[in-house]
Structure 1
């Protein structure tokens, strides 16, 4: 089977979906919308997440970070994403399931079909990001 190369935009979309789904699966209600805080938290997570090398088009420090743009664009993505983030005053970026799925398990199965990454890995990315927020 030939290896499929994902565009930078597609890589960002998948990571945004996966992070939102992981947050929902582990009970994280929102992520900071402060650039410095979320950049540092995600950078902490990204270097520790076992699947990060599958997304070479995603920058995670130390000179430039893509995570804030990924979160900001998340709710406006086209196609049929299973999960996304929306900005809410006082809460930061809040994860939600889209209308294309009815629950986290279904969303996890669909995202695994398209990304090859299981729900357990997206949970790990969310938990690592939360750990990074505490340390930021």
Structure 2
């Protein structure tokens, strides 16, 4: 009898393993499908968020451009780039102190702006914009006049 009992026990455990394996296989397939759909939804959300940011940026910049046409103040539409400031100063061949004189600030302030440790105020942005439009000759004339 012990033979039949052990055979029956092994057969039951084999069948149980087979059943569990089939159940787990369907769960694995479902899990894989769900993970793929979650990844697709995440990509879609990221895409929609990017579009929303772009739309908000466009809508917030559109009234600003309209306001600058209507009013005399164009300050809000000014942008600042530290690398462009450094490149422009280098292009003109000026020291930070000389460039600061043109803008109306100190040379140390120019260094801080170029390093990104500080940002210019609206009035200073206007000064930067006026210097931005000058060439080497005009800059030399302004520096000699002072």
TM-score range for the pair, normalised by the shorter chain length: under 0.3
TM-score w.r.t. the length of structure 2 is: 0.25
Which has the greater radius of gyration? Answer: 2
Higher RCO (CA-CA < 8 Å; seq separation 6+): 1
Larger strand percent: 1
Larger helix percent: 2
TM-score w.r.t. the length of structure 1 is: 0.26
